Chains A and B, each alone.
Chain A
Amino acid sequence: MSELIGMYPTWYVPQIGTAWVMGIIGTIHVLASNTSVGAAVLFALLESRSVRENKPEIMQYIKKYGMFLLVFSYIWGSVTGPGIWYSVTVASPRGISALIHNFVWAWATEWVFFTVEVIGVYALVYTIGKIDPKTHLKITWTFVVSSIATLVLIIGILSFMMWPGSQRWYLTGSVFDAFYNLNFAAQLADRGFLMLTSAAVVGSIIVAAIPKGDPLRRDVGQTVAKLGITGLGGGALSFMWYVATLPPNALVILKDRLPDWFGHVDFRVTTFVPLATTSVLIGLYLFWVYLKPQAVRVPVAVGMVAILLVAGIWPEERTRESLRKPWVVGQYMYSNQVIGRDVPGLGIQDEVPIIAKDGLLKTAAFVPADLRVITPQNQMAAGRLLAVMSCANCHSINRDGPLRPLPQLLHGTTDVAMIQGFLAGPLAHGSVPYMPKIDLPAGEQRALATFLAAVNAGTVDAEGHLIARAAPSAAPLHTAVAQAAGVQTVKTKD
């Protein structure tokens, strides 16, 4: 029997794919958690001033914002936090498993701070005006340090997902080498600053809820705006630092997304324009809050939060996810969950040669017995299973799917030999910079190509069901082979 590879069953989501499920939950979480950490810093600054200048009225703002946070961040933030875990668990079980087994102690340490943070936020909000100010300030400072601790701990893990940045971790397998990687400090700075901006934009809702004419509006509104603008400026600068710490494969993808003056070529609209526009818009808004705090209205502030979420965090998170391609963890596990290099420090072996020799169907743990050997009768079913296992994490299989749809990338070709040529050529040799090396035996290549050609022809749908009606004629054959051979970046929806 062939060596077994620990591939889990696959969860397949038609159209949007599992990536968008993770992305949607992740985006909600990022807004809620960023706001929480940024707000903790804001609370500490405001409360210190309240005690120093004897301005107890400032505490009313903190109380209102704190109550808002309980619902906003401590319901949806704390639910979507484990929610990300759950969604990654079902979308990329080997990916999350790799992270857990490397970083279990870092995560356990973060959990200590989470617990402290949850007790802390209730203590902070519900004891305002009920305990002496000096003691309350200690609660606030412990809350802010604990909140920042949750940030620094998760950044070590997120940045390792991009890459370790040196060969050392591969040789030692040490969690400290993984955690304090090349990308860590830059990403920490970037996120840290942008959290202040998140907290300021969300905090402007509470500013707008202060009665008009109350001097507290100006006092707090200007502090909130200054904090947000500082975050935006610092975030822009540290983003450049962040870019400088990215691996070469990420820079190739980034070339596609940033303008020249960022040090790369090709101005593209997919990421940079939305992010730049949103940043400018939010900067102008915060400047307006600073100048005219009395004029801010709740609907406007809520609208800005929505813009931050949809046009700021969503494209930013999607870009960060995309930049890792073709890897998902530490440049040793591909986004299709196959291990793509040795990690001697942990005794981990590259699985690509095993698959190349015996095939994915023979080696993956969860393959029905009938599909382990390809026959003319099961070729289509085998091809579909291969497509889902190898491709669906990053690509829609549907013709009109929004996630880099395979039929469009293959330009609708129905030529099995041509698709197989692509699979046997650039894909098997790993020469497409943002694609995993997928080196399948000829029989599996043929089955996968047959299935993809049938989807393109419209004779089979993405679920593998036969479609009775006649297929429309295929698009002109600008084939994937030709595309890949020229290493022309195929531009599609990302």
Chain B
Amino acid sequence: MDNASVSAMLGALQDPAGLPAPAWLFQYLNVLTWAFHIAFVNLSLGTGLLAIIAFMRRHQPAWARLSVAMTGVAKIAVSMAIVLGVAPLLFTQTIYDPSWYTSNVLSAFWVIFFIFTLGIGYTLWFVFYFKNHDVSHAAKAPDTTVWWATAALSLLLFDGFIMHVLSYQGLFPQKWMQWYAPHGVPVMNGMGIHAFELSRFAFFIVMSLTMTGVFLLGYARYFRARSDFPADYLDLAHRLGVKTAYWGVALQLATGLLWAYGLPSYMQVFTQPLFWLTLVLIVGVALYARQVPVGGSALQAYSAMAFYALMALIVSVDREALRVAYLAPYHYNLASKPHVEWGAVIWFFATFVGVGGSLVAFYTTMLWKAGKVKGLYTADGTVSRLGDIAVLINWTWMASFFAIGVWAYVRNIGFAS
């Protein structure tokens, strides 16, 4: 297909309902929420791997404890990765509908496979958690227990690969028709995996080590406040954190450069400031992690995570910039048909900031403080007030929702059906 035909096809595939807000807003939200998502994907895969490695060394008490802790972290991180993945999935479909839907249909079998294997993989991880959640019993667990975790992690990794394929295939609209109907005969079974880029996929996966490294620094610092956490265990977590972050950064550099070398020459990636900024940030995470002292200040330890977050955000920007560059030859116009409705935009942002902000602030502050106390935690004034505010805002949101509903419902009834 020539570029003009591809361009016409993309234009036809864009939803005729258009965009209910400026395209840049969806683009920003897509970048931001994908960074949240990948952080928890990285945390699940990285802590999952560490839980397995630590399990193999569980006859040493510190490793047994680490395995139990990382098993629990991975369990929660998968939940967060799934729920945080909903937002970028939503915004991608909104502005890149032709790419996303075509790629999905062409590999439909794998899309359905993804759903079930994600459920099975996560269930298997829960089985591992139930067998490996008690430090006092961890050392006695049979060797075979680890197979639950290995199978779970393998499935989750493969699911990551499917997501990579679905995103990547969407970048090549000039090939879609050929993939759909090779030799002019439509193949509708959705069994095809038509394109992937291993270095790109590997880059996102090895970022898990970087994330897990900086997470361990924060973990080791957080539990210094607890007398029931032995110092040698927390020292191990810290040292391991630095080492894991090193490995993560080294592998990110290797896979990232391979990925960059493989990009189309017209993108001139090595002349782009964004490329060099990303490189500096990746190296910066390792350099920063290296200078965080064992038992150092909270600010030093937690800043390492902030450094990772900044790096992940820039990687997300890179990803979006690449997508724009891949589709540029076809003049794909994100904002071809706006029908902006600001009321709905305000509705979302008010909920995001008001409800999301107040509830997450309440939960995280309460959990943060409770986690530092052994035994029963009684809320202090701040947590108590945050709780009251969260409950009030939540109910206010619900009341507003129905108030808007009454207004709109009455307005609708005025029209004959």
Instruction: Point out residues on A near B: beta carbons under 8 Å.
Output: 4-6, 8-12, 21, 25, 70-71, 74-76, 78-83, 85-87, 89-91, 93-94, 96-98, 100-102, 104-109, 111-116, 118-120, 122-123, 127, 129-132, 134-135, 138-139, 141-142, 145-146, 148-149, 152, 164-169, 173-177, 179-182, 184-185, 247, 339, 343, 346-349, 365-366, 368-371, 381, 385, 388
Instruction: Point out residues on B near A: beta carbons under 8 Å.
Output: 8-9, 11-21, 26, 29, 76, 79-80, 82-87, 89-91, 93-94, 97-98, 100-102, 104-106, 108, 111-112, 114-115, 118-119, 122-123, 126, 176-177, 180-181, 184-186, 188-190, 337, 339, 341, 343-345, 347-348, 351-352, 355-356, 359-360, 362-364, 366-367, 370, 375-379, 383-384, 387-388, 390-391, 394-395, 397-398, 401, 404-405, 408-409, 411-417
18 cross-chain CB contacts under 8 A: A4-B11, A6-B12, A25-B112, A71-B126, A78-B79, A79-B115, A79-B118, A90-B112, A112-B348, A119-B359, A119-B363, A127-B366, A132-B376, A134-B379, A142-B394, A169-B412, A175-B344, A371-B184
Which residues of chain A have C-beta atoms less than 8 A from B91's C-beta?
104, 108
Tell me if A93 and B104 are in contact (CB < 8 A). yes
Q: Given the complex of chains A and B, what is the CA–CA distance between A7 and B214 in angstroms?
A: 46
Tell me if B184 and A135 are in contact (CB < 8 A). no
Say whether chain A's binding surface is mostly helix, strand, loop, or mixed: helix
Residue of B nearest to A349 (CB): B16
CB-contact partner of A365 in B9, B87, B398, under 8 A = B9
Tell me if A108 and B79 are in contact (CB < 8 A). no
Q: Given the complex of chains A and B, what is the CA–CA distance between A21 and B364 in angstroms?
A: 39
Q: Which of B11, B17, B100 has the most CB of A within 10 A?
A: B17
Q: Tell whether A131 pairs with B90 under 8 Å between CB atoms, given A346-B339, A347-B337.
A: no
CB-contact partner of B101 in A97, A165, A339, A371, under 8 A = A97
Tell me if A168 and B395 are in contact (CB < 8 A). no
Which residues of chain A have C-beta atoms less than 8 A from B119's C-beta?
75-76, 79-80, 83
Tell me if B344 and A87 are in contact (CB < 8 A). no
Tell me if B359 and A116 are in contact (CB < 8 A). yes
Q: Which of B13, B76, B94, B180 has the most CB of A within 10 A?
A: B13
Say whether chain B's binding surface is mostly helix, strand, loop, or mixed: helix
Which residues of chain A have C-beta atoms less than 8 A from B108's C-beta?
11, 90-91
Q: Tell whether A101 pairs with B86 under 8 Å between CB atoms, given A90-B108, A185-B409.
A: no
**Nearest 3 Cβ contacts at the A-B interface:** A90-B108, A138-B387, A4-B12
Which residues of chain A have C-beta atoms less than 8 A from B415's C-beta?
166-168
CB-contact partner of B355 in A74, A112, A167, under 8 A = A112
Other A-B pairs beyond A79-B122, A131-B376, 14, CB < 8 Å? A6-B16, A75-B119, A96-B93, A115-B83, A115-B84, A132-B379, A139-B363, A142-B390, A168-B414, A176-B404, A177-B408, A185-B405, A347-B339, A365-B13
Q: Given the complex of chains A and B, what is the CA–CA distance between A119 and B362 in angstroms?
A: 11
Which residues of chain B have C-beta atoms less than 8 A from A182's C-beta?
412-413, 417
Tell me if B114 and A123 are in contact (CB < 8 A). no
CB-contact partner of A5 in B12, B82, B100, B360, under 8 A = B12
Q: Tell whether A130 pairs with B417 under 8 Å between CB atoms, given A101-B94, A135-B384, A175-B344.
A: no
Tell me if A132 and B111 are in contact (CB < 8 A). no
Q: Given the complex of chains A and B, what is the CA–CA distance between A381 and B14 in angstroms?
A: 28
Tell me if A368 and B409 are in contact (CB < 8 A). no
Smallest Cβ distance from A361 to chain B, in angstroms?
12
Which residues of chain B have C-beta atoms less than 8 A from A129's C-beta?
376
Tell me if A101 and B19 are in contact (CB < 8 A). yes
Tell me if B115 and A25 are in contact (CB < 8 A). yes
